[in-house]
Amino acid sequence: MNKKALTAVLGASGYTGMELVRLLRRHPGLSLHWATSESEAGRPMRGTGLEYLPVTEVPLAEADVVFACLPHGESGEWALRAREGGARVIDLSADLRAGEAGAVYGIPELWREAIQGGCLVANPGCYPTGVLLTLAPLIRSGLVDAGRPVIIDAASGVTGAGRTPKRDMLFGEVADDYRAYGVGNTHRHVPEIAEGLARIAGEKALEFVFTPHLLPVRRGILETLYVPVAPDVDARDAVSALQSAYAGEPFIDVLERGLPSLHDVVGRNTVAIGCAAVERLRRPMILCVAAFDNLLKGAAGQALQNANLMLGYCEQEGLPL
């Protein structure tokens, strides 16, 4: 595109929307013209020269690009309205991730061709992003023993819970604590992970147990995956498969040795992945760790990465490496 694309962010006062606005302010091809917030409507947005609008006042038919960051159950409806108005749309809620209305599931490193030139993309959830990017190369290389479940322990900073006030998210409740939630495969991201694995593995889709935890930090996700593997497969084979799959990918760091931490990724639109051996088991297993920023590669950064692909911009435009 030769001119800047007129852009709207629906739900711009939440953590994800705020991060997206920050990225858009320095993007050379996207011009932020509208930003919505029901609670902040009429108030100025710092550093933008704009005022927050109610979502009903955004002229969707004038927008070239719309990012829908509204609550689950509401966002998809507005995303489809924006699409009907002619905009290219990235929905950051869970509403369209099962492919409703022909939405493309937007992990670029796995489904780039489907995203390029597309009109409607469902941005993945944060937890599924790390799980699927870690497991896809191992599954496709035939390293995983599909007869046993993958165990996934995932931990997220508190911004993953959103900006709406909740008592159990207060500083006094979170500080100096570490707790599991959504246990027993009941977390809302479990169906999305299952659907993603089915896309990758087909009829050999894996069973898994997913347990999320709340970290007493502001941002960042660290996922530990205990992966059953075929006989004679070791961690070096997993690293090799990951390196081959993601060679040249600017937003995937595969560690030759060691495991990543949050310090490696917070502030970057990058997933860092490392693997390690697991000793003293009768049946072989390897350990994989994926670390990434929940507000960037887990949400706003990946949304902008998808928008760049949809509009024909350089995929890295406006994104911190």
Calpha distance 240→254 (Å, rounded): 9
Instruction: Pick the closest to residue 155 from 137, 180, 133, 173 (CA basis).
Output: 180
What is the pLDDT confidence band of residue 203, given thresholds at 50, 70 and 90? confident
Q: pLDDT tens-digit profile of 132-148?
A: 999 999 999 999 999 99
User: In this structure, is the dihedral angle defined by the CA atoms of residues 77, 166, 267 and 23, taken in order, positive or negative?
Assistant: positive
* DSSP secondary structure letters along 230-270: -TT--HHHHHHHHHHHTTT-TTEEE-SSS---GGGTTTSS-
Q: pLDDT tens-digit profile of 26-73?
A: 999 999 999 999 999 999 999 889 999 999 999 999 999 999 999 999
Q: List Cα–Cα distances, 49 to 12, 25, 35, 124, in angstroms.
A: 14, 11, 11, 31
**Backbone phi, then psi, for 209, in 5-degree steps?**
-120, 120
Taking the domains of the chain in order of start, what are their residue ranges?
5-124+298-311, 126-294
- Angle between helix axes 15-24 and 301-311 (nearest 10 degrees) is 50
Name residues whose C-beta falls within 8 Å of residue 205's C-beta, 6 or more positions apart in sequence.
194, 197, 198
Catalytic residues: 126
Q: Residue 2 pLDDT > 90, yes or no?
A: no
Calpha distance 12→127 (Å, rounded): 22
**Percentage of the chain lying above the pLDDT 90 cut:** 93
CB of 303 closer than 8 Å to CB of 92 = yes
- Specify the higher pLDDT residue, 256 or 3: 256
Q: Is this structure's pTM higher than 0.95?
A: yes
Q: Which CATH number fits domain 126-294: 3.50.50.60, 3.40.50.10240, 3.30.360.10, 3.30.70.260?
A: 3.30.360.10
First to last CA, the chain: 24
Two tokens, residue 11: 């739900």
Q: pLDDT tens-digit profile of 303-319?
A: 999 999 999 999 999 99
Instruction: Pick the closest to residue 245 from 145, 136, 171 (CA basis).
Output: 136
For 104: left if phi > 0, alpha if psi spans -120 to 50, otherwise beta; the answer is beta
Q: Which CATH number fits domain 5-124+298-311: 3.30.465.10, 2.10.109.10, 3.40.630.10, 3.40.50.720?
A: 3.40.50.720
pLDDT, position 287: 98
**Backbone phi, then psi, for 46, in 5-degree steps?**
-60, 135
